[in-house]
Every structure is written in C-alpha cells, then in structure tokens.
Structure 1
Amino acid sequence: MQAPHPALCAALLCAALSAPVHAAGFMQESLCPGLDQPVAGTGQKYEAFFSPYTHHWSQDAEHQQVYAISLSRLLPNDRFCGFSLFNNSFGQPSAYAFIGKTWPGVLASYPEVYVSATAGIIYGYVGKYKNKVPLNVGGFSPVIVPAVGYRISPSAAVEVQLLGTAAFMLGATWRF
C-alpha cells in the first residue's frame, strides 16, 4: 500500500483542527476556535513562513538539507493554526498541521522579541526512518515546536524554531 501524499495529510489534519469536536455527546469548540473572528490590530489574517536552512545537532551521512514552507491563520489572542510542507532530514516529503500561540514582547528592553510554540501532528517519517521521531504510528507523530523570533516590522520577522533534540531551523515570516 502506498503512503498518502503529505499535502493531502496536511489538508486533512487542518480540516480536523478546524472542525467541531464531539466528546461524550457534547459539542465542543474546534481545536482552532476563532477562525470567523477578526484579528485585532493591523488587519492581517495570515502568516507565511519559509526556512531555507536547518542545522542538525549531530551529523548523519543520510541527512539532507531541510526546506519548509508554512501558512498560518492568525487568530484572536495571539493564537494561530496552520500547516507546513517540508522535506524531512532524510529527504522524505512531509507535512505538519498545528495550533500555536505567540507571546510578543517577552523582553522589556527588546519589545520586538517574541516566543511562540506550536503543537500538532507531523506525517512523513516512514520506512526505515520511522524510528527517527518518537511515538510514530504509521508515519504520524505528535510534535511540539518552540520558537524565538525578532519582529523586523509589523509584517516581517526572522525566527529560530527548535526541532527537539535533532536540530534548529532558521526562517522568515511575512504577515498579510
């Protein structure tokens, strides 16, 4: 059986994040509430991220350069939901659907500095690489990605994302 395409997995995971949750017969809000609410401030609704560089803490002859793109929907209270498409450290096409939160202005003397964290599900570490991420079931694994960023302008920022004990990723964001 052929594995599903990562872009399809990301789309399905994002749909699941925004769908209402039914638990014990009660209707709950979606995991990504606020999609229909305006975001205060600049009127920007989305944020795109691109990473051209990832540094692995330990070198492996099989490691390949990782490239990632993501799109997030900005939500009230500095929250966001989104998805990312990337090639993983072993060259496999991969996807990540996530929810997240940003804490702007964490340093009083540098208000442009922010921290954020995302949590979600990745798909893509399959075959002989299935044990390269924890809790992998059929190529799907839970993930938490903390990040530190510097807001250059209301629309642009640079960011460092920590990828567990494996690596860190450098990238840039653009809000629109």
Structure 2
Amino acid sequence: MLTHRMPMSLAAGCALALLLPWRSAIATPSWSDLADFELCPGMSAAMARPAGIGERDVSISTFTHHWTHSDEHKNVRSLNLRQHLDDDRFCGFSLFTNSFGQPSTYLFTGKFWPEPIPGLPRVYASVSAGMLYGYVSRYKNKVPLNVKGFSPAIVPSIGFRITPQLSIEAHVLGTAALMIGADWWY
C-alpha cells in the first residue's frame, strides 16, 4: 500500500504564500499582517454563530463514476466539511482517497447559488476552488499543475434538497469523474 504524508510546514508555507492578503504588489507582510490573517475571511464570525441554523454541512460520498475506465481506478471515498459564510460564500475541506487509493485532501473556498433555476427552490449549485494534495509518486501526472503533490482544483457541483437538512450533490471532478454524495446541513 502506498502512503504519503504532507509535511505540515510545507502545507502552512504554501497556504500563507497563496492566501496571504498583500497590501500592495510590492509590500512586504509584517507580523501584524500575520496576526490579522484569516485563511477564510468571515470564517471566525460564522463559527461564532450557533449550530443548527443550516450554515454548516458535512457530506460523504462513496460513489464515483470515472469517465474513462482503468483497472487502476479505485472508488473515491470522501468526507467533506463546509462552513457557509455571508454573501453565499463558503470555505471547507475534504478528506478522501483519490482515484488510485491514495489519501488526499482538498482545502477550498467557493460560491453557493441557493436557487439557480427559478421555480426550482430545492435545486442549488456551487463551485469551489482551492488546493488539492495527493496524487504523488507514479500518479503525480494524473492532475494538472502538480508540484510535489500540490495542485489547484476547481469543482462545480449541483445539489437537490430532499429536506431542509438532507440533500444529494453531484460534483464534477475535472475531466476524470463524477462523484455523488449526501449532505447533512446543521
């Protein structure tokens, strides 16, 4: 079994380098900038609100359909946590086994559209963008722009609310696959 762990200092360095809000193109960040840094702006205010009002969701997925068959493909299993913010934005993370059975993670932010199709209030859509870690060793070329296991990702999704707390979602995983999951909103 192939396993690979992400060095935490490398992950923290990449996150700061990509997400630190610079004051200007030539400014150098100061320690006070780092003290005020929020990985996901608005997250601390959202987390201070009580649970139970549908601003958080956890989802699981155990079904993935790959567009092209390969004997190397494994079924992707995923656990996702998402915090909804003001202005229909969200931030979250996903822990999953990738298409080749490797442990992987996805840290993301995104936009949520509660009713993209007028007259269908239970249908919603979202798109997330973030940093993917996984796809290492012989699978490093299976995702674009992979540098030592890190690569950018964009995931469009569409969902259907069965109840106010339960929904199903379909996630398009680039040109590789479609993943179906269930979400619990709390």
Normalised TM-score (structure 1): 0.85
Q: Which of the numbers 130, 155, 168 marks the counterpart of 1:120? A: 130
Q: CA deviation at 1:43?
A: 2.6
As a proportion of its length, which structure holds more helix?
Answer: 2
Aligned to 2:163: 153
Which has the larger displacement, 93-102 or 29-38? 29-38
In 1: Cα distance, 2:41 partner to 2:165 partner? 23
In the alignment, does 2:50 pair up with 1:44?
no
Q: Match for 1:145: what amino acid?
A: V
Residue 29 of structure 1: CA displacement? 6.3
Cα distance, 1:106 vs. partner? 1.1
Structure 2 residue aligned with 1:56: 66
Q: Which residue of 1 aligns with 2:76?
A: 66
User: What's the offset of the Cα at 1:21?
Assistant: 2.9
Letter in 2 for 1:43: I
Match of 1:164 among 159, 163, 174: 174
Correspondence for 2:112: 102
| Residue aligning to 1:5 | 5
CA deviation vs aligned residue, 1:21-70 (integer Å, no higher than 9, x gap): 3442465864521113347xx63342101001000000001001110001
Once the two structures are superposed, residues 117-136 of structure 1 have per-residue CA deviations (whole angstroms, 9 ceiling, x without a partner) of 00001111001100000000
Q: Distance in 2 between matches of 1:53 and 1:7?
A: 29
- Does the 8 Å contact 1:21/1:31 carry over to 2? no
> What is the DSSP-based 3-state SS (H/G/I as helix, E as strand, rest coil) of the residue aligned with 1:37?
helix
Structure 2 counterpart of 1:135, from 128, 131, 145:
145
Task: Name the count of aligned residue pairs.
Answer: 172
Q: CA-atom RMSD, angstroms?
A: 3.0
Q: For the residues of structure 1 that align with 2:102 and 2:68, how far apart are their CA atoms?
A: 19
Q: How far apart, CA to CA, are the structure 2 residues paired with 1:89 and 1:4?
A: 15
* Cα distance between partner residues in 1 of 2:150 and 2:163: 36
The 10-residue stretch of structure 1 (136-145 or 73-82) with the greater mean CA deviation from structure 2: 73-82
Distance 2:93 2:120 in 1: 29
**More divergent stretch after superposition (28-37 vs 159-168):** 28-37
With 71-80 and 111-120 compared, the bigger mean Cα shift is at: 71-80
1:77 aligned to which of 61, 83, 87: 87
| Structure 2 portions without partners, runs of 5+ | none
1:36 is paired with a residue of what secondary structure? helix
Mark the structure with the bigger radius of gyration.
2
State, as a whole percentage, how many aligned pairs show the same letter. 47
Secondary structure of 1:21's aligned partner: coil
Compute the TM-score of the two structures, normalised by the length of structure 2.
Answer: 0.80
User: Residue 21 of structure 1 aligns to which amino acid in structure 2?
Assistant: P
Once residues 5 and 71 of structure 1 are traced to their aligned partners in structure 2, the CA distance between those partners, rounded to angstroms, is 20
**Contact 2:166–2:185 (Cα < 8 Å) also in 1:** yes
